[in-house]
């Protein structure tokens, strides 16, 4: 099992929603969500819990649902995927290029 998480930033307030709500979905709506295991989603307006997350007049939405991970893994397969083995386990990662500043900061952290 997995957990799908989505953060949305809105450039407007969203005062009409409850700070945290679980929505029960009908079968047709649930079928639109990849891998959903239970026909419900949890929605939080995070800026209500943590106002420091967003400036006044904006909204941070956090939505989650329990899901089967297999359909998501299928989306991650392709030539851009790099497979490595660590500790006897196969890890699937995407290649990331970091700039010079990243490596300098990493060196400084290692030296302290």
Boundaries of domain holding 10: 2-111
Q: In whole angstroms, what separates CA 13 from the centre of its chain?
A: 22
Count of structural domains within the chain = 1
Measure Cα distances from 108 to 10, 47, 98, 100, 105 in Å.
Answer: 36, 34, 16, 12, 5
The percentage of the chain sitting over the pLDDT mark of 90, rounded to a whole number, equals 29
Contacts of 26 (CB under 8 A, 6+ apart): 39
**pLDDT (0 to 100) of residue 112:** 63
Q: Average pLDDT over the chain, rounded to whole?
A: 82
Q: Is 77 helix (H, G, I), strand (E, B) or coil?
A: coil
pLDDT at site 31: 92
The predicted-structure confidence for 48-106, as pLDDT tens digits, reads as follows 888 888 888 888 899 999 999 888 877 766 655 556 666 777 666 655 667 777 777 77
């Amino acid at each position: 099992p997995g957990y799908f998480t989505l953060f949305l930033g809105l450039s407007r307030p969203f005062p009409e929603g409850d700070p945290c709500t679980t929505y029960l979905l009908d079968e047709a709506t649930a079928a639109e969500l990849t891998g959903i295991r239970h026909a419900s989603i949890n929605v939080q307006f995070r800026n209500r819990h943590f106002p420091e997350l967003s400036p006044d007049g904006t909204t941070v939405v956090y939505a989650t649902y329990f899901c089967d991970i297999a359909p998501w893994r299928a989306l991650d397969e392709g030539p851009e995927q790099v497979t490595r083995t660590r500790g006897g386990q196969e890890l699937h990662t995407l290649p990331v290029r970091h700039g010079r500043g990243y490596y300098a900061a990493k060196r400084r952290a290692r030296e302290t």
